[in-house]
Chain A
Amino acid sequence: MATEHILELTGLSKSFGGNRVITALDLAISRGGVTSLVGPNGAGKTTLFDLVTGFLTPDAGRVRLLGRDITGKPPHLVARAGIVRTFQSLRLFSSLTVLENVLLAADSEAGMRSSSERHESARVAMERAGVAGLADVRAADLSFAEQKFVSLARAIAKPAGLMLLDEPASGLDGPSLRRFHAIVRALVDEGRTVLLIEHNLDIVRQISDRVAFLNNGRLLAHGTPDEIFAMEELAALYFGDDAAT
């Protein structure tokens, strides 16, 4: 088993009705570092996350985490196996406070840890995401940027080796972006592997160790940012489909 790869996708395919959204996709993510998944709207990026985390079952192909086959496992078992994810639409628990939101990530490690330990890890996660001051605010009452960082704090509180972040930086302003950047680098420094979806290519260039380019459900390229950005046909494809970015 090739365990130098934390995540290994082989021949992954998914269609909705007759619409092929992911086609025979092979992708191996090494342990550590940040990989950005880029591609035009509708390329299948979120669908890929859903396939990895068990929210969707692939029509074909395998998903391996540290060499272990997790294909078709339900989301909660994938999470326990060591993958934490965020959602494009954030999906905070809106009637719960920020602390409760983050505690729920720590809670699922119950059995091994006492309540005070869980509170401590929630506090640390909120601190790292810069939302400790919001602990008692109801999630529904947060601003958009605050919600994004709380969603990040919730993911951080879960001690998972692989983090899948779906557009965590979209809509953030300059200072927030710098904060986000620092948070992600700190996660990598502590040995986590981050796979993130991002449309803004400046951010991708700054933050990524590797870039995977997805178009129409196919992986067109996977390499260092310099390699990927040097490929003119990819840039053309990207800007052609998504001129606004």
Chain B
Amino acid sequence: MIPYAESLLIFTSLAVILASSLNLMLGYGGMFSAAHAVFYGIGAYTASLLALHVNSSILLCVPAAMIAGGVAGALLAVPALRVKEEYFVVASLGFQVIASTVFNQWVAVTGGIGGLTGIPPASFMSIQVDSYGGYLVLALLCAAGVLIALKLLVRSEFGRALRALRDDEAALQALGRDPVRLRVATVVIAAMLAAIAGAIYAYFTSFVNPESFSLDESILIMVMVIIGGTGTLTGPVLGAVFITTFPALLSFVQIPSTILGPTQRVVYGAVITLLMIYEPEGLLGFLRRISRVASFSALRRWQPSTSSS
């Protein structure tokens, strides 16, 4: 495989992790967050610092990144959700701004705008991951692991409570459940999963700086979830694939690089608006509708022969 394709697939896998974990909050917990890139970034910086100064083992850096991400999640969720969940999106925006400032200004730790460079490649036992192919396997494994974990989680007793919370919060309270605790736990889990993507990103690019974890990135992750379709496991995967491969598709139609960025944004905006109007369930709903139409016409083709027999 050519490195370009491999690297695109790696970034797509990371986007799948980010969108799927945000969907746990947004699609299941009903919390819009403009701070998901913070957890991605915390994961990346934590893994980078450990890899640079301690050891680049995945077994050290990834769990540490997850813990740091989870702590950051709690820092956002505990105060924000104690107040009122409606304010969560505002609190998350503030959290993103503060985190971006820290990433930029805490030069001694984050390297400031210049970031951290020369991050050593990932290692696992005695294996060094130093090829595109190796990172592709790692990223795909992580994405698959996250998706399986989310699937199990949604089906678990915790997931049942979360789905119930989405349906009727008062009824859940009347059964003895604390909605605040459920939401905080959801944010912490989502943040931990997003941090995994950050760690893989840091290893793969061997360079992290604040730009990758900005408000723009947070909004892009939210767009992936909304475009793909919230509240299902497949929707955010579709959204992540669409958003990451879309610029690559644009480059095939030879759009001058100076207007590439604006063009992307206009198209995202148009797609979101059209989906909101015609397909509130996102790309997933759109695909389902197409497949229903397809199977219906297949049925019609198939029926005459059976009715005549």
| Chain A partners chain B | yes
28 contacts between A and B (CB under 8 A): A55-B170, A74-B178, A76-B173, A76-B175, A76-B176, A76-B177, A76-B179, A79-B173, A85-B174, A87-B170, A87-B171, A92-B171, A93-B163, A93-B171, A96-B160, A96-B164, A100-B163, A100-B164, A101-B164, A103-B160, A104-B160, A104-B164, A104-B177, A107-B160, A107-B175, A108-B176, A110-B157, A158-B175
Query: Which one of B163, B168, B173, B176 contacts A92 once the chains associate, using CB atoms below 8 Å?
Result: B168
Closest to A151 in B: B171
Closest to A54 in B: B173
Q: Classify the interface of chain B: helix, strand, loop or mixed.
A: helix
Given contacts A94-B167, A95-B167, contact A107 B174 (CB under 8 A): no
Hey, which chain B residues are within 8 Å of A154, CB to CB?
175
**A binding-site residues for B, Cβ under 8 Å:** 53, 55, 74-76, 79-80, 84-85, 87, 91-96, 100-101, 103-105, 107-110, 115, 154, 158
Q: Give the CA-CA distance A107 to B159 in the complex, in Å.
A: 12
Hey, which chain B residues are within 8 Å of A103, CB to CB?
157, 160
**Other contacts beyond A75-B170, A107-B161: 17, CB < 8 A:** A75-B173, A76-B177, A79-B176, A84-B175, A93-B163, A93-B164, A93-B171, A93-B172, A95-B167, A96-B163, A104-B160, A104-B164, A107-B157, A107-B177, A108-B176, A108-B177, A115-B157
Closest to B170 in A: A91
Closest chain-B Cβ to A224's Cβ sits at a distance in Å of 30
Hey, which chain A residues are within 8 Å of B170, CB to CB?
55, 75, 87, 91
Q: Give the CA-CA distance A58 to B174 in the complex, in Å.
A: 18
Q: Which 9 A-B pairs have the closest CB atoms?
A: A108-B176, A79-B176, A75-B173, A91-B171, A93-B167, A93-B164, A76-B178, A80-B176, A91-B168
Is B173 touching A74 in the complex (CB atoms < 8 A)? yes
Q: Give the CA-CA distance A108 to B160 in the complex, in Å.
A: 11
Closest to B168 in A: A91
Q: Pick the most buried of B163, B172, B179: most chain A CB atoms within 10 A of its CB.
A: B172
User: How many residues of B sit at the interface, in one of the four size bands?
Assistant: 10 to 19
Q: Give the CA-CA distance A71 to B178 in the complex, in Å.
A: 17
Hey, which chain B residues are within 8 Å of A91, CB to CB?
168, 170-171, 174
Closest chain-A Cβ to B17's Cβ sits at a distance in Å of 26
Given contacts A53-B174, A74-B173, A158-B176, contact A104 B167 (CB under 8 A): no
Query: Which one of B161, B167, B175 contacts A79 once the chains associate, using CB atoms below 8 Å?
Result: B175
Q: Give the CA-CA distance A176 to B174 in the complex, in Å.
A: 25
Q: Give the CA-CA distance A103 to B160 in the complex, in Å.
A: 9
Hey, which chain B residues are within 8 Å of A110, CB to CB?
157
Closest to A83 in B: B174
Is B174 touching A100 in the complex (CB atoms < 8 A)? no
Closest chain-A Cβ to B284's Cβ sits at a distance in Å of 16
Q: Give the CA-CA distance A103 to B156 in the complex, in Å.
A: 12
Q: Give the CA-CA distance A158 to B172 in the complex, in Å.
A: 12
Given contacts A107-B157, A110-B157, A115-B157, contact A95 B174 (CB under 8 A): no
Closest chain-B Cβ to A28's Cβ sits at a distance in Å of 23
Hey, which chain B residues are within 8 Å of A107, CB to CB?
157, 160-161, 175, 177
Is A79 touching B157 in the complex (CB atoms < 8 A)? no
For window 254-291 of B, CB contacts with A under 8 Å fall at none
Closest chain-A Cβ to B30's Cβ sits at a distance in Å of 13
Is B168 touching A104 in the complex (CB atoms < 8 A)? no
Is A108 touching B175 in the complex (CB atoms < 8 A)? yes
Is A75 touching B163 in the complex (CB atoms < 8 A)? no
Q: Give the CA-CA distance A243 to B150 in the complex, in Å.
A: 55
Is B172 touching A104 in the complex (CB atoms < 8 A)? yes
Q: Give the CA-CA distance A53 to B171 in the complex, in Å.
A: 12
Given contacts A79-B175, A91-B171, contact A100 B157 (CB under 8 A): no
Q: Give the CA-CA distance A119 to B176 in the complex, in Å.
A: 17
Closest chain-B Cβ to A65's Cβ sits at a distance in Å of 14
Contact with A along B44-76 (1 / 0, CB 8 A): 000000000000000000000000000000000
Is A87 touching B157 in the complex (CB atoms < 8 A)? no
Closest to A154 in B: B175
Closest chain-B Cβ to A8's Cβ sits at a distance in Å of 21
Q: Pick the most buried of A75, A84, A87, A96: most chain B CB atoms within 10 A of its CB.
A: A75
Contact with A along B178-191 (1 / 0, CB 8 A): 11000000000000
Closest chain-A Cβ to B101's Cβ sits at a distance in Å of 35
Closest chain-B Cβ to A163's Cβ sits at a distance in Å of 11
Hey, which chain B residues are within 8 Å of A79, CB to CB?
173-176
Given contacts A93-B163, A100-B160, A107-B161, contact A84 B168 (CB under 8 A): no
Q: Pick the most buried of B171, B176, B178, B179: most chain A CB atoms within 10 A of its CB.
A: B176
Closest to A94 in B: B167
Closest chain-A Cβ to B237's Cβ sits at a distance in Å of 21
Closest chain-B Cβ to A141's Cβ sits at a distance in Å of 14
